[in-house]
Chains A and B, each alone.
Chain A
Amino acid sequence: MMFNVVLQRLILASGLLAASLSGLAFAGSENGGDRIVVAGGDLTEIMFAIGHGDRVAGVDTTSTFPEATAELPQVGYMRRISAEGVLSLAPSLVLAAHDAGPENALDQLRSAGVPVAIAPAGEDPDAVIRKIEFVGEAVGAKAEADALVQSYSAELERVRAVVADLTATPKVLFILAWRDGAPLAAGSETSADAIIRAAAGQNVAEGFTGYKPLSQEALIALAPDVIVMMSQHAERAGGLDEILQRPEIARTPAGRNARLVDIDGVLLLGFGQRTPTAIAELAARLHEDDPAVGRF
């Protein structure tokens, strides 16, 4: 199952599958129909942003923005969708993130005559453009998608110009949560790493890949200037004050200067069309003393 995903990634990289799959999508219906099931929070966000949210008939558990998604039927976690569950929504099209699955369920959907369109991969600001174009083509909303790409690119460019003027590169540590007392830090090749770099920060935990638990000593040794968390997880960990008083945090520059940044997780790590907003918000809070921040 997972190798099919890898396979798809390879083919996608060479740019072949994207074309053939969108071709498939059109085979089912001119514009993807009015009952679209989306597996992937970034794709759902784009559907609503191009003004076609009312055509979404069901979403996966990673789709939590905008709030209207809470009213929609849930088809489960995007890597464990149930083929028959999706079919019960009488879908006209399934928009799936590049790593949605299992592959078997997607095959069953296809053999039931439901077009399945697989989105391009990528978790960085530029990949968002490819995702918007993909959604626009798959649901027959090319004009709206082009408009969104325009405004997105312009906004991204504007934010990037401001970020380029920031003078400092603070040392940042992203903490996902505390697991058994150990902080889970974001290493390289994570979406947290990508957004930190986009906001002119230096990820102090880039020595490892993925999310790994850090020992308290290792955290102190990394000496981050700023600690970033998802607000939902910061709340669960007892709130900002509580976190700042943890012994391993209190002994870092971030702890001493009370530099703990919490931002909504879906906004921060979602890499949907709100990415420029996320970069601007994170950069403004990482560089709060920099005068350039006023231009965001």
Chain B
Amino acid sequence: MKTIRRWGGFRERNDVAQAVNPDGLTVRRGSHRLTFLALAAVLVGLGLAALALGPVAISPDRVIATLFGAGDGVESAIILQIRLPRLLLGIAVGTALALAGASLQGVLRNPLADPGLIGVSAGATVGAVLVIVVGERFGAGLPDALRPWLLPGAAFLGAGVVIAFVFALARRGGETSVATLILAGVAVNTVAGAIVGVMVYISDDQQLRDLTFWTLGALSASSLQTTLIASAIALLTVPAFIRGTRALDLFQLGERAAFHSGLNVERAKVVVALATAVSVGAVTAAAGPIGFIGLVAPHLARMIVGPSHAFILPTAVMLGVALILAADLAVRLAVPPAEPPIGLATSIIGGPFFLWLLIRNRGRLHA
């Protein structure tokens, strides 16, 4: 039962039974309604702000008119081709990172787990960086129509290859060892770092700047098609994550106990791994490796709504999307007409906020 204690440090209540007791859930459901409503209101506000605010001032009534097809050329271009795709990708990125982070933390029973820890983001980064630096040499024979897809495709593939590798490595005799999985992830991160290092070494000035900016993330750098496809892929994996909430609750009892209560433990792990690779791979391919959200959104959710994953997952999604949209607003309004990378803002906004919550909840966490 040691595993529970480790996890328990991050609960408001250590009472694991409550997490899996349906009666306990019904009692708490009412008290979360307000939280959900408040978060939803914040989200709607941020979504509207994402459409209404930017370096070009467009009045709210013009924004609405443009959304209904009555905008002039410049307004339509700004709102429909710049702000709307960013909003969509922001929602997809926040959703994918929050769901993947919450589910990985649940399955691995490790509060540090996020798509970065097991190497998914690193795999995507290697794919993208390889294309930026040596893609020109090896992709020369590609038809022109395929070229714009090379970078997102390679990033997506990189994420998939890494997660297949770490899960294959951690699987032994029909069981997946969580410890091996995390260690394999650490090793993959190191190897990926080395490959990126080699690419940095052989890159020219411009490639170096390209790859640096890519690793800092952006909601605006991808083409409209890439944005739409990545968002669609990420949002299609949502049901796979949501269906696993009860399995995630059972995992908190320890793998053995989860197994004995009738859960197909291996299947649950594979589903989370696949869904993570697909969703995080897709959004990273379009927006770059945006850090921090996958780690922080689930923790924030757990602090707010307690240990039940039926509440953690939706709350984490709302928080993840809210953080991304806030960060995107911050970068576009900070130093117009220039725009810093979003990765800076997610850390600058998310870091202190997380610390503040930790400090505020310090007493309760140690209870």
Which residues of A pack against B, CB within 8 Å? 1-4, 6-7, 58, 61, 73-77, 79-89, 99, 102-105, 107-108, 111-113, 189-190, 209-213
Contacts and interface: CB of A to CB of B under 8 A. Distances in A.
B227 to A, nearest CB: 9
- Tell me whether chain B's interface is mostly helix, strand or loop, or mixed: helix
A250 B147 CA distance: 49
B223 A107 contact: yes
4 shortest interchain CB distances as A-B pairs: A85-B337, A112-B77, A76-B338, A3-B147
B204 A87 contact: no
A89 B337 CA distance: 7
Nearest to A210: B204
B56 A210 contact: no
B220 A6 contact: no
B150 interface: yes
Contacts of B209: 77, 79
B150 A3 contact: yes
A113 B74 contact: yes
Given A1-B148, A105-B220, 9 more contacts: A3-B136, A74-B335, A76-B337, A80-B213, A82-B337, A111-B77, A112-B73, A113-B77, A189-B204
B78 interface: yes
A82 B151 contact: no
Interface residues of B, number: 44
B9 interface: no
B221 A104 contact: yes
Contacts of B132: 2
Contact of A84 (B135, B204, B218, B332): B332
A89 B213 CA distance: 24
Contacts of A213: 201
A2 B128 CA distance: 11
Contact of A104 (B54, B56, B220): B220
Contacts of B222: 104
A254 to B, nearest CB: 24
A168 B335 CA distance: 50
B144 interface: yes
A77 B213 CA distance: 10
B266 interface: no
A151 B332 CA distance: 43
A4 B81 CA distance: 19
A108 B213 contact: no
A210 B83 contact: no
A211 B223 contact: no
Contacts of B55: 82, 84-85, 87-88
A3 B54 contact: no
A61 B213 CA distance: 15
Interface string B199-229: 0011111100110010000101111100000
Contact of A79 (B54, B83, B210, B337): B210
B136 A2 contact: yes
Nearest to B226: A104
Contact of A87 (B78, B142, B201, B335): B78
A111 B224 CA distance: 12
A7 B147 contact: yes
A2 B144 contact: no
B89 to A, nearest CB: 12
A7 B205 contact: no
Contacts of B77: 87, 108, 111-113
A85 B83 CA distance: 12
B70 interface: no
A212 B208 CA distance: 12
B15 interface: no
B231 to A, nearest CB: 15
B351 interface: no
B139 interface: yes
Interface in B143-158: 144, 147-148, 150-151
Given A74-B337, A108-B82, A211 B205 contact: yes
Contact of A210 (B205, B213, B220): B205
A4 B147 contact: yes
Contact of A99 (B57, B83, B206, B336): B206
Given A2-B210, A104-B220, A108-B82, A211 B204 contact: yes
B339 A82 contact: yes
A279 to B, nearest CB: 21
A89 B55 CA distance: 9
A110 to B, nearest CB: 9
Interface string B44-83: 0000000000111100000000000000011001100111
B193 to A, nearest CB: 16
A295 B147 CA distance: 51
A212 B220 CA distance: 31
Contact of A108 (B57, B81, B142, B150): B81
A105 B222 CA distance: 9
B221 A75 contact: no
B78 A104 contact: no
